[in-house]
C-alpha cells in the first residue's frame, strides 16, 4: 500500500459540508488482523446539529450521539436497519456535526472485503452504499469513538492527490431535509451508490 499522509485534526475542524466535499478522493484504511483494507471515498453526506431535521443530533445531545458535539476527527458509528453507519465527527469550534461515508472505491484487500460481504453480485456493488461499505470493512460499534488521525488505530483516513469533479444532491433516504444539497459524490465514479 502506498504511504500517504494522515489527515490532521484541523481538517475536520470545519463546517461539515466543507469536510464532506474535502473527504472525497481521500483514502480510508482499515487494519484487520494482519491485513490492510483500503478504499477511496467517493460519496459523503454532511449532517449538522439540532437545526438539521435529518441529523442524529436533531433531538439534542443523548448518550448515543454525544460524539457529534465533541472532538472532530473521530469515528461516530450508529445502526440503521441492521447496518452500521460510519461517520466522521466534523464541525467548527463549538459546533455540532458529522459526515457520513456513503461509498468507497475498493483498493487494497478486495478479496477480504468480498469474504466479509459473503453474498454480493459484483465488484461494483461491494462497497457502494453505507451498509455495504461497513460490512466489507468489518466496521461495527467497537470502533465508535476511534481517533481517525492516528495510524496506530485500527481505522484512519489519509490524504490522496486525485483530480475529479464533484456532483451533489439531496441526502438519500431522508424524510425531512434541509433546503440545500448535502450529499456529495465524485462525478462519473462507478462505485457511487446512486448516480443522481
CATH architecture for segment(s) 9-186:
Roll (3.10)
User: Would you kindly state where each structural domain of the chain is located, as residue ranges?
Assistant: 9-186
pLDDT digits (tens, 9 = 90+) for 61-116: 888 899 999 999 999 999 998 999 999 999 999 999 999 999 999 999 999 999 99
Cell numbers for 116: 466479509
pLDDT digits (tens, 9 = 90+) for 1-56: 678 899 999 999 999 999 999 999 999 999 999 999 999 999 999 999 999 988 99
Predicted TM-score of the model (pTM): 0.95
Interatomic CA distance for residues 74 and 118, integer angstroms = 28
pLDDT value at position 1?
Answer: 65
Q: What is the dihedral of CA 131, 36, 122, 82, to 10 degrees?
A: -20
**String of DSSP letters for 146-184:** -BTT-TTSSEEEE-------EEEEPPTT-SS--SS--EE
For cell 465524485, the residue is: 186
Interatomic CA distance for residues 190 and 76, integer angstroms = 26
Task: Report which of residues 87 and 57 the model is more confident about.
Answer: 87
Amino acid at each position: 500500500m502506498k504511504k500517504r499522509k494522515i489527515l490532521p485534526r484541523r481538517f475536520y475542524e470545519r463546517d461539515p459540508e466543507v469536510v464532506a466535499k474535502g473527504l472525497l478522493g481521500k483514502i480510508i484504511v482499515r487494519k484487520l488482523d494482519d491485513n490492510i483494507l483500503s478504499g477511496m471515498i467517493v460519496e459523503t453526506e454532511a449532517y449538522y446539529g439540532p437545526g438539521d431535521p435529518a441529523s442524529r443530533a436533531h433531538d439534542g445531545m443523548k448518550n448515543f450521539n454525544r460524539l457529534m458535539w465533541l472532538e472532530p476527527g473521530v469515528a461516530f458509528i450508529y445502526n440503521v436497519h441492521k447496518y452500521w453507519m460510519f461517520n466522521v465527527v466534523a464541525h467548527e469550534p463549538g459546533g455540532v456535526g458529522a459526515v457520513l461515508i456513503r461509498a468507497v472505491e475498493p483498493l487494497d484487500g478486495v478479496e477480504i472485503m468480498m469474504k466479509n460481504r459473503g453474498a454480493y453480485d459484483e465488484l461494483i456493488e461491494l462497497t457502494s452504499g453505507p451498509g455495504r461499505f461497513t460490512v466489507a470493512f468489518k466496521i461495527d460499534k467497537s470502533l465508535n469513538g476511534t481517533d481517525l488521525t492516528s495510524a496506530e488505530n485500527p481505522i484512519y483516513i489519509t490524504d490522496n492527490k486525485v483530480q475529479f469533479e464533484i456532483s451533489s444532491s439531496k441526502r438519500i433516504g431522508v424524510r425531512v431535509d434541509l433546503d440545500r444539497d448535502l450529499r456529495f459524490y465524485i462525478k462519473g465514479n462507478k462505485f457511487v451508490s446512486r448516480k443522481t
